[in-house]
A and B are shown apart, each in its own frame.
Chain A
Amino acid sequence: MTATGLVESMTKASTAAGRRRGIRWPLWLLGISGLLVLVSIVRLVTGANDITSSGTTGAALRLAVPIGLAGLGGLWSERSGVVNIGLEGQLILGTWFGAWGAYEFGPWWGVIVGIIGGALGGLVLAIATVSFGVDHIVAGVAITILGGGITRFLSALIFVNTPGGGVTQSPSLPRIGTVTLPGSGVLHDIEQKHWFVVSDVAGILGGLITQVSWLTIVAVLLVPLTYLVLWRTKFGLRLRSCGEAPGAAESLGVNVYRMKYTAVILSGGFAGLGGAFLSLVATNIYREGQTNGRGYIGLAAMIFGNWMPGGLALGSGIFGYTDALQLRSGGQSVHALLLLLAIVLGLLAIWSLYRGRRVRAATSVAVAAGALIWFLTSDTVPDEFVGFAPHLTTLLVLALAAQRLRPPAADGKPYRRGEAG
């Protein structure tokens, strides 16, 4: 993703190790169970029941969606070889157009208009990068600037004349329906009992099935759908080949330009959907600045997921969780998580030592100690810090996970027809 080759050289260093196979299922289950137990212990020790409450998990799901959709947008684009830094701008367009569409025509229309708004941003990016060969990152930054400008201008034109609206926000918007799956009540009761592990599981599951917006369900379904399309269809194979070896693709008759255009427009559409979700479901209003960098966090989720939809979803979940804490003023919860961080890092330190990785063990111990001290000497984490919890998490996750990566081989490289051979 970066313009210098440093990342290239580092990812190449681990391609042998970071194979496609991924980690196996039993190991995953073991890891998750272990984590659950740890979290439960921390909850009981600190009394911060909110860390696994259905309220938090529900919010986490709600906030993971825009991040995940932005990430999916990034994935579609980068799989075709175009780095989309303009996701934030397309997200912004999605929030505005979603709000306007909902206000004028109704919530689902808002969704559609939001998608179109984002897709238009994608189209502009495609023109700049594919047809004109502008550097991807430069073009993306330009789109983000433009996105902010357009929405502000349009707000000044349209929202200013609406009740409750203004230059930086829209009026209150109609909602999309939600659904609650059966069993939610039972889970809620169990959750209130605050039992070890069982209540935590109940809380998590409860949050995932209570008052889930239809749009959330749509968004979640887009993840396996992305996988199916990209890895099991002709279109998907051709698109991926543009991101891996565009010269080869062109020599076999694939219209690389058209594929890239399609991918980038779709990418914008995903971001637009994410934006619409932000203004219609996660909140019920458009507000300037509400994207708060989620476009970039989405990209981080994509990198975390190694450019695969499954990992992306997991990453979005993690970021969404910290985002939820931030929105629910979870000073206490974040404080409790400090303890969790200290324990996890402590375990990592022991394992690193066992593996002979001294440097990693040392830094883990240092950070763990810092977290522990902070935990012990305070009651809660100040709001301002909680405010950047998702961003800090993003940074940490990227720093720790960035090594074993395999981006598409021709990602970020401008392509010109006839460069094959």
Chain B
Amino acid sequence: MKRFDLERFGLGLAAPVLALIVAALLSSIALVISGNSPLHTFNAMLDYGTQPETVVQTVNKSTIYYLSGLAVAIGFRMNLFNIGVDGQYQIAAFFAAVVGGWLLLPGPVLIVVVVLVAVVVGALWAGIAAVLKVTRGVSEVISTIMLNVIGGGIVAYLLDPSRLGTIVGTQQVTTKPMPSDAYLPGIPVSGGEIYGFIVVAIACGIAYWVLLGRTRFGFDLRATGLSETAAVASGVSVRKMVIRTMLISGGVAGLVGMPLLLGGSHAYAQDFPTGYGFSGIAIALLGRNNPIGIALGALLWSFLEQSAQILDLEGVPKEIVTIMQGVTVLSVVIAYELVRRFSLVQQQRRVGAELRAAAGTPAAGEGSPA
């Protein structure tokens, strides 16, 4: 078995490495076209990106991205495409912030309550898409995207001083800020503070691994993703799986806004960041739905973003990073597919060869003398 493992490991690495090389090449071409030196650009990014302050920002961002990637990956393992993480985390963060601002509870309890609210709201919002899919056959790709916009509209409506918002400072509309004893403390390191919520994020990663790899539910989920017909024949109820999986995915999506809410802004304002959901999709693809892979993907993604901040000062449009990200995703999915096929063919070949070697001895028990 050792031989298999080593080869599998090697193949597993081959894909992302290959993809990254291709991505770097293509990005270099884009840079050259726009009149910049790739080497200079990469250098500048590397320099800036390894500064302690930037590293802290990178880690913080990647905490958020990690949660987003996990949420998407849970769906992916079952061939469900939860494109609605964006809407789910925003509506979840909003209501969580509202509750956090209005409820009077001791700090630590309030934090727990806020997180629970976020999980529940995110799960419910995803649940709408799940129900539509299970009862009416609506594609979850389209429904989750529509729900993103609808969720954004609802939040925009409610975030008004006459409804659930208040005015802070001169102009900014926000939810009522949470009390200071409900601030989640960060972890101080040289360069800044790391979100305390990173602990929860890591715990989620472990839970993901345990759930999918070690539980019956996880087995059912993966089986449905690998072969729905075989899963059905083995007793899985696809309807129930779809709903449960989407609920879990939405629940984790709800956590995406928590690092910022609890450790940074402490309220939901109009400028609460958007777009983490789509990044989550890319990261889940990069990490091949594997908890460690997703972590690495999240780190890479946010590293690219953070280190690109310096590029404006160097005269390079920092939007090159979005190209890098896009190209990476595309090369990665292609590379994974190629490696997967290659690996299967290799296995078949090896099995065939080994069995032929074993059957080389006569009386292999086939039953019919020639």
Direct chain A–B contact by Cβ atoms under 8 Å: yes
Q: A143 CA to B330 CA in the complex, in Å?
A: 7
| Residues of A with C-beta under 8 A to B334 | 128, 132, 134
- What 0/1 pattern do residues 143 to 175 of A give for CB contact below 8 A with B? 101111110110111001000000100000000
Q: Which residues of chain A have C-beta atoms less than 8 A from B134's C-beta?
A: 6
19 A-B residue pairings within 8 Å (CB atoms): A2-B81, A4-B78, A5-B229, A133-B341, A142-B285, A142-B326, A142-B329, A146-B323, A152-B319, A153-B322, A156-B317, A167-B319, A384-B153, A384-B157, A388-B146, A395-B132, A395-B147, A398-B138, A400-B136
- Which residues of chain B come closer than 8 Å to A132, judged between CB atoms? 334, 337-338
Where the two chains meet, the residues of A that have a C-beta atom closer than 8 Å to any C-beta of B are: 1-7, 10-11, 85, 124, 128, 132-135, 137-139, 141-143, 145-150, 152-153, 155-157, 160, 167, 292-293, 296, 299-300, 303, 382, 384-385, 387-388, 391-392, 394-395, 398-400, 402-403, 405
B149 touches A293 (CB 8 A): yes
Whether B80 is near chain A, meaning CB under 8 Å from some CB there, is: yes
- Taking A6-B238, A137-B141, A385-B154 as known contacts, 8 extra A-B pairs with beta carbons closer than 8 A to each other, sorted by chain A number, are A5-B229, A7-B137, A152-B319, A153-B317, A384-B156, A395-B132, A395-B143, A398-B139
Given contacts A293-B149, A388-B152, contact A145 B325 (CB under 8 A): yes
Report A-chain residues with C-beta under 8 Å of the C-beta of B330: 124, 128, 139, 142-143, 146
A residues near B318, Cβ cutoff 8 Å: 156
State whether A146 touches B141 (Cβ < 8 A).
Answer: no
Residue of A nearest to B150 (CB): A388
A4 touches B238 (CB 8 A): yes
**B145 adjacent to A296 (CB under 8 Å):** yes
* B322–A11 CB distance below 8 A: no
Residues A3 and B326 in contact in the complex (CB < 8 Å), given A145-B282, A299-B142: no
- B147 and A145 contacting across the interface, CB-CB below 8 Å: no
For the complex formed, measure the closest distance between the CB of B92 and the CB atoms of chain A, giving whole angstroms. 18
| Interface pair B138/A399, CB less than 8 Å apart | yes
- Are the C-beta atoms of A402 and B285 separated by less than 8 Å? no
Q: Once bound together, how far apart are the Cα atoms of A405 and B78, in whole Å? A: 24
Are B329 and A146 touching (Cβ within 8 A)? yes
Contact partners of A382 in chain B: CB under 8 A = 157
Are A402 and B333 within 8 A (Cβ)?
A: no
In the complex, which of the residues B145, B224, B319 contacts A149, with contact meaning CB atoms closer than 8 Å? B319
- Kindly list chain B residues whose C-beta atoms are within 8 Å of the C-beta of A145: 278, 281-282, 325-326, 329
Chain B positions near chain A (C-beta within 8 angstroms): 30, 34, 78-81, 83, 132-134, 136-143, 145-150, 152-154, 156-157, 224, 228-229, 238-239, 242, 278, 281-282, 285, 317-320, 322-323, 325-327, 329-330, 333-334, 337-338, 341
Chain B residues near A155: list those with CB within 8 A.
Answer: 319
Measured in the bound complex, the distance between the Cα atoms of B80 and A7 in whole Å is 12
Question: In the complex, what distance in Å separates the CA atom of A85 from the CA atom of B323?
Answer: 19
Across the A-B interface, the 4 shortest Cβ-Cβ residue pairs: A146-B326, A149-B322, A156-B317, A149-B326
Measured CB to CB, the nearest residue on chain B to A137 is B81
For the complex, give the distance between the alpha carbons of A4 and B157 in Å: 35
Find chain A residues with CB under 8 A from B319 CB: 149, 152-153, 155-156, 167
Most A-side CB within 10 Å, residue of B149, B150, B152, B341: B149
State in angstroms the CA–CA spacing of A157 and B323 once bound together. 13
Please indicate the chain A residues that have their CB under 8 angstroms from the CB of B322 in the complex: 148-150, 152-153
Specify which of B78, B239, B320 lies most central, judged by the most chain A CB atoms within 10 Å of its CB.
Answer: B320
